[in-house]
Amino acid sequence: MSRRTEIATVLQSPEVGTKVTVMGWVRAFRSRRFIALNDGSTINNLQVVVDFENFSEDLIKQVSFHACIKVIGQLVESQGSGQSVELQAEEIEILGASDPEAYPLQPKRQTMEFLREKAHFRMRTNTFSAVFRIRHAIAFAIHKYYNDHGYYYMHSPIVTGSDAEGAGEMFRVTTLDPAKPALDENGEVDWSADFFGKATNLTVSGQLQAEIGALALGKVYTFGPTFRAENSNTSRHLAEFWMIEPEVAFYDIHDNMDLAEDFSKYLINYVLENYPDDLAILDKRIQDLEKQMKKEDRRPMGLIDTLRFVVDNDFERITYTEAINILRSSKPFKKGRFEFEPSWGSDLQAEHERWLVEKKFQKPVIVRDYPKDIKAFYMRMNDDDKTVAAMDVLFPGIGEVIGGSQREERLDILESRIKEMDIHAEELWWYLDLRKFGGCPHAGFGLGFERIVQFITGMDNIRDVIPFPRTPGKAEF
């Protein structure tokens, strides 16, 4: 294969008069003369100009929608507006023919649901190519942020014997024959006969192992896939999603909130600075969709303006108790517009979170110090003995994007919490050891990768920001 120049390079530093080879997919072929060619390196197409009398009729016919072609030609100054150069085709080769009538994605607006069924082609659309370039950018920026701040990237295991969140929403990992598993004397499945000699699951979080790392390397982060068998068919839940979990020795809950805010702003800023063309396409897409909506259903600001606003303003920080009080004295509560009553001791519902973020404060909100009974066993008990040093970062349009806490470093309190919450302490012997031998105050959080990608790209459904979504009943591709 001869060397090719990527279209991003051609358009970034166009050198009129040079001969280049480009390869890509035909997005349009107008008037048997103008090919819009895209190779995925940028949202922008390169215009290829074809003098059809120089090519065989058979070849011209094969230059069809989403055929893959190679073009050698000369860069010339563009006649039309919108681009500075175009490619005058001298040689065209069909690398992969296509059938424009049978191509599963016809060139018209398709619903997101339809495109999900065609996940093997949806990345070729403008919207999805922009989303997945930005997804890459955020993943890269995450590593850059932590590397630049002196953190070590740590790989936590994917197969695990412990349930970090204690929520019991785990996928079993086993090699036992489901039709006739080994049984113990009580007739129950004998997990000691299983591959790992014990019951194992896919991880729901790398946090507990990240704490091991933090108490040795000081500052670590994990970034890997996590799995939750929760039967939530919502626009914010996946059964397989990626999580970033920084864990830092000597941090308290306030340091943790500072890190969460600085880190999320960095990611947004990184995309604003480096991916303006992709963001512009996504911004325009939303504006087009909103033209058909009622005014009250539209977003208060465009996508890029929203991102800028979040970067430029401090996040609101309130306690859970303050949040409940604000909610109880709110208009929608007094007028009976909330489905669930906000009451001290029960979890904030999505409708409460959204009202706080979108109506009351109109910016991201960090809620901290939640009642101990609605949070995980490892969160640090506050002096009031009622709340724990937990924090959730809530974003407009999405709700919870980050969940974290200061960890309980005091062995006796941790042990009594484990007992209170009926957690199998045997599996956590190593976790308790960390408190016995050189424990220290420490804190961390988990950022839901797809949720931040959702926020930055403005996509409504989390299934449209991961290449191949896993949700209840769906594991195609």
The contact set with ligand 4AD (CB under 6 A) reads 164-165, 205, 207, 228, 230, 237-238, 241, 243, 245, 400-405, 444-446, 448, 450-451
- Say whether 230 sits in a helix, a strand or coil: coil
| Residue (of 268, 273, 370, 252) closest to 315 by Cα position | 268
Two tokens, residue 174 = 């086993």
Report the partner that residue 320 touches, choosing among Mg ion, ligand 4AD, none (CB closer than 5 to 8 A by kind).
none
- Does the protein bind Mg ion through residue 396 (CB under 5 A)? no
Question: Least CB distance from residue 164 to ligand 4AD, whole Å?
Answer: 5
Q: Which is nearer to ligand 4AD, 396 or 404 (CB)?
A: 404
Q: How far apart are CA 205 and CA 128, in angstroms?
A: 28
Question: Least CB distance from residue 390 to Mg ion, whole Å?
Answer: 8
Q: Which is nearer to ligand 4AD, 66 or 236 (CB)?
A: 236
Report the partner that residue 130 touches, choosing among Mg ion, ligand 4AD, none (CB closer than 5 to 8 A by kind).
none
Q: How far apart are CA 298 and CA 291, in angstroms?
A: 9
- Does the protein bind Mg ion through residue 364 (CB under 5 A)? no
> What length is written for the chain?
477
Report the partner that residue 450 touches, choosing among Mg ion, ligand 4AD, none (CB closer than 5 to 8 A by kind).
ligand 4AD
Q: How far apart are CA 149 and CA 255, in angstroms?
A: 14
Q: Are 283 and 458 in contact (CB under 8 A)?
A: yes
Question: Least CB distance from residue 222 to ligand 4AD, whole Å?
Answer: 8
DSSP letter string, 308-359: HHHHHSPPEEEEHHHHHHHHHTSHHHHTT--SS---TTSPPPHHHHHIIIII
DSSP letter string, 185-208: TTSSB-GGGSTTSS-EEE-S-SHH
Q: What is the CA radius of gyration of the chain?
A: 27
Q: Which is nearer to ligand 4AD, 246 or 439 (CB)?
A: 246
Q: Which is nearer to ligand 4AD, 39 or 464 (CB)?
A: 464
Stretch that binds Mg ion, among 62-70, 152-160, 402-410, 422-430 (CB under 5 A): 402-410
- Does the protein bind Mg ion through residue 446 (CB under 5 A)? no
Report the partner that residue 165 touches, choosing among ligand 4AD, Mg ion, none (CB closer than 5 to 8 A by kind).
ligand 4AD
Q: Are 154 and 221 in contact (CB under 8 A)?
A: yes
Q: Which strands make up the sheet holding 442-448, listed edge to edge?
A: 152-153, 219-227, 240-249, 442-448, 399-406, 387-395, 365-371, 316-319
- According to CB under 5 A, which one of 399, 403, 458, 469 is a site residue for Mg ion? 403
Q: Which is nearer to ligand 4AD, 66 or 417 (CB)?
A: 417
Q: How far apart are CA 84 and CA 87, in angstroms?
A: 11
Report the partner that residue 465 touches, choosing among Mg ion, ligand 4AD, none (CB closer than 5 to 8 A by kind).
none
Q: Which is nearer to Mg ion, 392 or 464 (CB)?
A: 392
CA 395 distance to own-chain centroid: 13
Two tokens, residue 331 = 């208009």
β-bridge mates for residue 222, sequence order: 245
Cα distance from N-terminal residue to C-terminal residue, the chain = 29
Report the partner that residue 445 touches, choosing among Mg ion, ligand 4AD, none (CB closer than 5 to 8 A by kind).
ligand 4AD
- Does the protein bind Mg ion through residue 469 (CB under 5 A)? no
Question: Least CB distance from residue 63 to ligand 4AD, whole Å?
Answer: 42
Q: Which is nearer to Mg ion, 116 or 228 (CB)?
A: 228
Two tokens, residue 18 = 């040079």
Q: Which is nearer to ligand 4AD, 66 or 116 (CB)?
A: 116
Two tokens, residue 248 = 């830092």
| Residue (of 94, 17, 87, 13) closest to 49 by Cα position | 87
- Does the protein bind Mg ion through residue 448 (CB under 5 A)? no
Report the partner that residue 66 touches, choosing among Mg ion, ligand 4AD, none (CB closer than 5 to 8 A by kind).
none
Q: Which is nearer to ligand 4AD, 89 or 249 (CB)?
A: 249
Question: Least CB distance from residue 392 to Mg ion, whole Å?
Answer: 6
Q: Which spans of this chain sit near Mg ion (rule: CB under 5 A)?
A: 403
